[in-house]
Amino acid sequence: MRQITAEQAAAVLRDGDTLLIGGSGGGHAVPDALLEAVGKRFRETGAPRGITALHPVGLGDGKTRGAGHLAQDGLLKRVVSGTFVNSPGIARLALDEKIEAYTMPQGAMSQLMREMAAGRAGLLTKVGLRTFVDPRIGGGRQSQCATEDLIEVVTLRGEEYLFYKPYTLDVAFIRGSAIDEAGNLSMEHEAVTLEMLSIAQAVRRQGGVVIAQAKQLVPRGTLHPKMVKVPGILVDAFVIVPDQWQTYETYDSAAYSGHHRVALDEVPRLPAGPRRIVARRGALELFEGAICNLGSGISTGIANVAAEEAMLDRICLTNEQGNIGGAPASGNEAGAASSPDAQIDQPYQFDFYDGGGLDLAFLSFAEFDAAGNVNVSRFGGRIVGPGGFINISQGAGRVVFGGTLTAGDSKKAVRQVEQISFSGPYARERGQEVLYVTERAVFRLGETGPELIEIAPGLDMERDVIGTMAFRPVVSPALRVMDAAIFADGPMGLAARLPARPARANADRLP
């Protein structure tokens, strides 16, 4: 097993290679030292040129780290990722038509890694149907120069599916906590484990090179075998980075890695304002034992509200990166969770989501329209991408979209969204329950689109709600005022009135 430097790892890449990168968001298991070395090599030598970068999750600190190291004109030919929100430099290259840019559902990309590892034809799934990743609508493209079809529509037994094609792979960059002299890579101090194993298996199956970044080198035989996430038989070389941080903002959180349990009163209370109002109204949809996902943005406040109401231990919050239970982190730390009950690999978390395992999904919106469609992926001159949004929103039994009704002078309830990240008509066909929660009003997905069902106390419906929208919603004949407790300063007393969990089928079999 070879120990090499980050510079030597960067030199492995050749012009036109496809680089598969593990990691998530704000530095969570991101092999940042390797990416930094690639960026430095290109600045100094002009090589490698025209590479394709694949990473299921967006990577970066919102500035220059992560995939941002690669955001140089000529280095990249193509980027395929769940999101560009963490790497604005990549988004800028896409907007300037300097790269072939695609954003795909994070879960589909994660699961595709596993399909490629097994040598299967690709990924067959319904995730993405009727959204902008459906090739009949856009095929996930975020730049006009991205002309290749990476997804096909197929019909199997009379039903439509999307087929995500596999890729030719040359090099993988992955990361863990410790690596032994035989190349066995552990991840016990990481905030997430993701699909590191599938990435290594997929690249090695095609004869590519797998390079691991780790914080420390330990003697062979000292790692517990159950802590090894990627066995040494799949690793070609490794780079030791002693000052490796757990995330870009946190050096080492024992709460993120599961080595320490955080008390509920350590979760901060949301300050007064629209975010608190939206999160508190969303929390009214919770019930005993509800299994939930919290998307990024305003909806992460559900965890803060549940903690403030002393009921975080009576529901199960999850995130797509694989954390189950605990308190999901927010901001640039999103993807981690404090004191989770379990951490599973990302592809299996998405299996659970796609299979209908979520009772509730709390997701943020950038805009929604008269048909009930929601956009989070491209708006206002920004390319964001869907991340896990499409998997989560399509798979959940009930979806609560949260956001403010306006953003400054801009309306967020628009006549037609710029990009369809969630299809209202498709949700209606499948009988999915959908709410749109704002600080001024609440809507539900009705027969033709959003229907106004609640209004904040003291507001004038025409002036303060409908007047701020680009379309006129149906108004429910049973329109009611939002619960006044949502707007009060103190706790709402949710723990005392948390509804019971609906009975499961076959639950009567248990004693």
Which residues are catalytically annotated? Answer: 320
* Residue 484: Cβ within 10 Å count: 11
Within 402-442, where are the H helices? Answer: 424-429
Task: Compute the distance between CA of residue 390 and CA of residue 396 in angstroms, rounded to an integer.
Answer: 10
Task: Compute the distance between CA of residue 238 and CA of residue 174 in angstroms, rounded to an integer.
Answer: 9
Position 378: which residue type?
R
Single out the residue of 411, 447, 420 nearest to residue 431, CA to CA: 447
- The DSSP result for 180-226, as a single string, is ETT--EE-TTSS--TTHHHHHHHHHHTT-EEEEEESEEE-TT-S-GG
Position 130: which residue type?
R
Q: Any idea which residue has 């590479």 for tokens?
A: 51
Task: Compute the distance between CA of residue 346 and CA of residue 332 in angstroms, rounded to an integer.
Answer: 19
Using DSSP bridges, classify how beta strands 378-379 and 382-383 pair: parallel, antiparallel or unpaired: antiparallel
> How distant, in Å, are the alpha carbons of 40, 49, 249, 485 from that of 44?
6, 12, 28, 60
| Strands of the 360-364 sheet, one edge to the other | 342-343, 323-324, 316-318, 291-294, 360-364, 398-402, 433-437, 441-445, 450-455, 474-481
- Tokens describing residue 489: 């300063």
Whether residue 290 contacts residue 475, with contact meaning beta carbons closer than 8 Å, is answered with: no
Nearby residues of 44 by Cβ (< 8 Å), 6 or more positions away: none
Q: What angle do CA 497, 501, 506 make, to 5 degrees?
A: 160
